[in-house]
Amino acid sequence: MKVDAAVVGQLAQVPEGARALERCGYDGCWTAEINHDPFLPLTLAAEHTRRIQLGTSIAVAFARNPMTVAQIGWDLQDYSQGRFLLGLGSQIKPHIERRFSMPWDRPVARMREFVAAMRAIWTCWRDDSPLRFEGDFYTHTLMTPMFTPPAHGFGDPAVFLAAVGDRMTEMCGEVADGLLAHAFSTERYLREVTIPTLTRGLERAGRQRTDIEVASPLFVVTGHDEAELAAAAVGTRKQIAFYASTPAYRGVLELHGWGDLQTELHRLSRVGDWDVMGSLIDHTMLDTFAVVAPVDEVAGKILDRCAGAIDRVLVGFPATVSEAEIAELTATLHRGTR
C-alpha cells in the first residue's frame, strides 16, 4: 500500500513540507483546492523533491475547462519528470454556480466528457495530431504550432476522480486511472458501496481492478497518552460533523442508521454552531469514521481498515508525533505487516 499525505497550501511552507514528507518515506503529497490554488504549490514541491509523487486532491474541474487543466497538467508532468497525479472533482452545484460563476449541468456526463476532452488535447500535443474534439459540453478544434507545448516524454498524467455517489463512482471505474474516495467514508461504506460500484464501472469498460488505484483519505486520531489522544479527537470530531452536515453525504450516515443526525447537523451549520456540532459526534461515530489508537498501535489499525480495499491511503499525524516516528509508521504501512 502506498502512503500519502497533504502538503500545506501556504506557499512559503511548501518546500520544507514536501521535503519532510519525502524524508519520512511518503509516496505522494497532495494539495486541496480550499483557500488556495491547488496547482501552484506543486510547482514548488516538484522543485524541492526528487521521488515523491505530487497530486491535486482535488482541483475543481467545473471551475475550469479541459484546455486550461490539460495545459497545467502537461507542464507539471514535465517539470516533475513524470510524478504528477491530476485529481479532479465536480464540487457541488452551489459552489460551481455561486462561488465560481460557472454552469452546472449533468455533472457525471460533464465529468466524463471533461476527461475525454483533456486526453484528446494531450494526444494532439503528444502525437502532433489534429485536435478534433466536439462534445455536448466542450468543443476543442483549434490548435496551431504556436500554442502547442513541446513533447516531454513522461506520458500523460494519471487522472484521479473524486466520487461519492453511485453514478460518478461507476463512471470513474470506466474512464479514470484512480478513484479519490471522500474522507467522509467509513470502512463499511467503502467495502459495501464504493468498491462494488466502482467494480461495475470497471466491468462495463472491460477493465480489471488492477487498472485503477483507489486512494482514500483517512481520519487518524493518535497520540502517546490519553491527553494527546483527546486533544487530537477534538479537531477530528469537528471535521466529521462538518462533512456530516452536508446533504450530499447523507447516504454514508444512513448506511449506519445515523441519517437523522444529518438533519440536525445541517440545521446547526446554518447558524454556525460548530462547537455544538462537534460534540454530537460520539465515541462510536468517531471510531467508525476515524482510526483511533496510540502511536504504537495506529499503523496496525490503518492496515486492518484498508486491507484489500485501498491502494493508497492519505494520512496525517498530529504535531506530537515526531518525524522519526512517522518514518517508522510509513515503513510499517509499506510492509503491510505490523
Tens of pLDDT along 92-142? 899 999 999 999 999 999 999 999 999 999 999 999 999 999 999 999 999
Burial of residue 224 (CB within 10 Å: 0-12, 13-18, 19+) is middle
**Position 333 pLDDT exceeds 80:** yes
List beta partners, residue 279: none
pLDDT, tens digit (0-9, with 9 covering 90-100), for 137-157:
999 999 999 999 999 999 999
Amino acid at 158: A
Res. 336 pLDDT band, cuts 50 70 90: confident
pLDDT averaged over every residue in the chain: 96
The three cell numbers of residue 136 are 455536448
Distance CA 160, CA 177 (A): 6
- The answer regarding whether domain 2-224+294-335 maps to CATH 3.20.20.140 reads no
Q: Which residue has the higher pLDDT, 336 or 118?
A: 118
Distance CA 179, CA 114 (A): 16
Report the pLDDT averaged over residues 186-199. Answer: 97
Q: What is the CA radius of gyration of the chain?
A: 20
The answer to whether the CB of 222 falls within 8 A of the CB of 321 is yes
Per-residue confidence (pLDDT) for residue 136, from 0 to 100: 98
Per-residue confidence (pLDDT) for residue 204, from 0 to 100: 98
Q: Residue 139: which H helix or E strand, with range?
A: strand 139-140
Annotated domain spans of the chain: 2-224+294-335, 225-292
The three cell numbers of residue 122 are 494531450
How much of the chain exceeds pLDDT 90, in percent?
95
Res. 8 pLDDT band, cuts 50 70 90: confident
The answer to whether the CB of 104 falls within 8 A of the CB of 93 is yes
Res. 338 pLDDT band, cuts 50 70 90: low
Report the pLDDT averaged over residues 264-289. Answer: 94
The answer to whether the CB of 15 falls within 8 A of the CB of 50 is no
How far from the centroid of its chain's Cα atoms is residue 224's Cα? 28
The three cell numbers of residue 251 are 447516504
The three cell numbers of residue 30 are 497532495
Res. 10 pLDDT band, cuts 50 70 90: confident
Q: Residue 287: which H helix or E strand, with range?
A: helix 283-289
Res. 300 pLDDT band, cuts 50 70 90: very high
Report the pLDDT averaged over residues 234-245. Answer: 94
**Position 214 pLDDT exceeds 70:** yes
* pTM attached to this predicted model: 0.94
Report the pLDDT averaged over residues 178-195. Answer: 96
**Position 265 pLDDT exceeds 80:** yes
Res. 275 pLDDT band, cuts 50 70 90: confident
Report the pLDDT averaged over residues 240-258. Answer: 93
Report the pLDDT averaged over residues 77-93. Answer: 97
Placement of cell 460520539 in the chain? 282
